[in-house]
């Protein structure tokens, strides 16, 4: 059974930092792109950041550029999202995804995690 499990969410004050992790089991994703999405209450899911199979190319949503950093450790089959200078508007459930179905970073993916909650207080 293939699973993506996120961790690292929590409550943080504005300006603070969090590091999310997404560990894969059941298969490796070392040859496919992976990404982070988020969904705030009452809003649609949105793309946050993506990384290609070897970490050589990264893409970010405009709203997080310069504050968030996506990375991956293929030896550990783990995806990360370092979030700095957090803002209340970053509050959302964060999901990792693997193996995009199209060239679009913000498109559909074959595998999704269950999500981890991030709350940023003002």
Q: What is the mean pLDDT of residues 34-46?
A: 96
CA distances from 98 to 54, 66, 87 (A): 13, 23, 26
Confidence band, pLDDT 50/70/90 cuts, at residue 89: very high
Q: What is the mean pLDDT of residues 65-70?
A: 98
Q: Which residues contact 7 (CB under 8 A, 6 or more apart)?
A: 20, 21, 22, 23, 116
Q: What is the mean pLDDT of residues 11-35?
A: 95
């Amino acid at each position: 059974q293939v699973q993506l499990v996120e961790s690292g969410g929590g409550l943080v004050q504005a300006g603070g930092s969090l590091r999310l992790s997404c560990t894969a089991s059941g298969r490796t994703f070392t040859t496919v792109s992976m990404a982070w999405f988020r969904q705030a209450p009452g809003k649609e899911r949105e793309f946050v950041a993506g990384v290609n199979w070897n970490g050589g190319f990264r893409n970010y949503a405009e709203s997080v550029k310069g504050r968030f950093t996506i990375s991956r450790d293929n030896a550990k089959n783990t995806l990360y999202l370092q979030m700095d200078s957090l803002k209340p508007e970053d509050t959302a459930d964060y999901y990792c995804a693997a193996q995009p179905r199209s060239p679009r970073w913000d498109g559909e993916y074959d595998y999704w995690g269950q999500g981890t909650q991030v709350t940023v207080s003002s």
